[in-house]
Chains A and B, each alone.
Chain A
Amino acid sequence: MKRLLKLLARLYPSSWHRRYGAEFEALLEDSTPRIQDLCDVFLGALKMQITTWNFTRITLAACLAGTLAAVALSFAIPSHYISHSLILVNPPVAPAAANDRGASTNSAIRSYLINLQPDVLNRDSLSRIIERLNLYPRERANMPLDAVVTKMQSNIYIKPAEGTNLSAFIVQFDYPDPNLAQKVNEELVSLFMSANLAHAQADHTQADPHFVFRVMDAPELPQKPTGLNRIEMGAIGLLIGLPTGLILALVIRLRQKPLTVSN
């Protein structure tokens, strides 16, 4: 351990080593080393190195550290994939009730989907999908099923297809595995179709108009992960590292000025 500490002591700047090296080694020889002393000497050497660096070197080091940390983080964050599907809504008019309120087609679809969602995204149907496809294995090992269902619900996005002439809505599912993202999306589309049929039959008895769903774009197998890639993460790390380095360099420069004792 003492030999290791002496090796770590060589990480101190040479100017520091010339002045304090001999007495520091004497201290290492006299004291009973502890495992945490390795970290203490390493950090001490690092701090001393930084205090000898100039402004540019500190800034560059912070940029490099920020970039490396961001790239390392990008490896630690699991990739996730979103499977999309598009469901056409016929007739492309809003139900009478929605039109009466002057709502747009999209808002009519949105309100219709909101009515339909409890039949599709409920605990029973989602927990069946979770168990059948063995989704969220790590979460299921540590969380109650209700919490896993809530997590799954947060990974499902249902929204009207805006910016097109189509009366349609999009179903998306976000998951770390692209194949499972597609399979779950297929299940969700199937659930929406069934729920819509059941809803239509129920409405029919009340003589209310209803929508007819048609799958326009089947759930796709996502090819690329979503979110930031490693280059983008590295660029963000660089952008964070730059101001951090400037602040650090300024702080070190200020701290290096001798302090005055107030009278």
Chain B
Amino acid sequence: MSDPSVLVLSSLADGDKHGYAMMDDIERFAGVRLGPGTLYGAITRLEQRGWIIPVKSEDRRQPYSITPSGREYLNEQLTNLSRIVRAGLRRLENA
């Protein structure tokens, strides 16, 4: 599971973060280090789709927040993923 958009949304699910904080967080919880280009590609797409929004900040480090539609999308993606994981594990146990 290495879809950068889902990783970014998962990172923002527990609070606002700026780019470097997201990169660090994703590396800790998913074991995946997103490169700067990949991370900002995902941030750009997610903002265009209205799933994240920039939070007011005086710092150059721009924090982002997940929107309700972003939470809905993330929930849908993780539910699908969870179903696949459960099915896969069940089949492995039965094999």
A-side residues, CB < 8 A to B, are 5, 16, 20, 22-28, 30-31, 34, 36-37, 39-45, 47-48, 256, 258-259, 261-262
B2 to chain A, nearest CB (A): 13
The verdict on A28 contacting B36 (CB below 8 Å), with A22-B60, A23-B62, A48-B44 known, is yes
Q: Does B36 contact A40, Cβ atoms closer than 8 Å?
A: yes
Residue in A36, A39, A44, A261 with the greatest tally of chain B CB atoms within 10 Å: A261
Which bucket holds chain B's interface residue count? 20 to 34
A20-B44, A23-B62, A31-B20 are known contacts; what are 13 more A-B pairs with Cβ within 8 Å? A20-B40, A20-B43, A24-B19, A24-B40, A26-B60, A26-B62, A34-B35, A37-B37, A41-B35, A44-B36, A44-B37, A48-B41, A259-B73
Q: Which residues of B contact A27 (CB under 8 A)?
A: 18-20, 23, 36, 39-40, 61
Q: Does A23 contact B60, Cβ atoms closer than 8 Å?
A: yes
- Smallest CB-CB A-B distances: 7 pairs: A44-B37, A40-B35, A27-B19, A30-B20, A23-B62, A40-B37, A41-B37
Query: Looking across the interface, which residue of chain B has its beta carbon closest to that of A30?
Result: B20
B13 to chain A, nearest CB (A): 15
Query: Across the A-B interface, how many residue pairs have beta carbons closer than 8 Å?
Result: 75
Instruction: Choose from B35, B41, B48, B76 the contact partner of A36 (Cβ within 8 Å).
Output: B35
Q: Which residues of A contact B35 (CB under 8 A)?
A: 34, 36-37, 39-41, 44
A232 to chain B, nearest CB (A): 37
Q: Does A44 contact B60, Cβ atoms closer than 8 Å?
A: no
Q: Does A26 contact B44, Cβ atoms closer than 8 Å?
A: no
- The answer to the question of B82 belonging to the interface, with a C-beta cut-off of 8 Å to chain A, is no
B-side residues, CB < 8 A to A, are 18-20, 23, 33, 35-41, 43-44, 48-50, 59-62, 69, 72-73, 76
The verdict on A37 contacting B62 (CB below 8 Å), with A16-B44, A20-B44 known, is no
The verdict on A258 contacting B44 (CB below 8 Å), with A23-B60, A27-B39, A30-B20 known, is no
Instruction: Choose from B40, B49, B61 the contact partner of A44 (Cβ within 8 Å).
Output: B40
A258 to chain B, nearest CB (A): 5
Cα separation A43 to B4 with both chains bound (whole Å) = 15
Q: Which residues of A contact B43 (CB under 8 A)?
A: 20
Query: Looking across the interface, which residue of chain A has its beta carbon closest to that of B62?
Result: A23
Instruction: Choose from A5, A30, A42, A48 the contact partner of B61 (Cβ within 8 Å).
Output: A30
26 inter-chain pairs at a CB distance below 8 angstroms, sorted by A residue, are: A5-B36, A20-B43, A22-B62, A23-B19, A23-B60, A23-B61, A24-B19, A24-B36, A24-B40, A25-B60, A26-B20, A27-B20, A27-B23, A27-B39, A30-B20, A30-B61, A34-B35, A37-B35, A40-B37, A41-B37, A43-B37, A44-B35, A44-B36, A44-B40, A259-B73, A261-B76
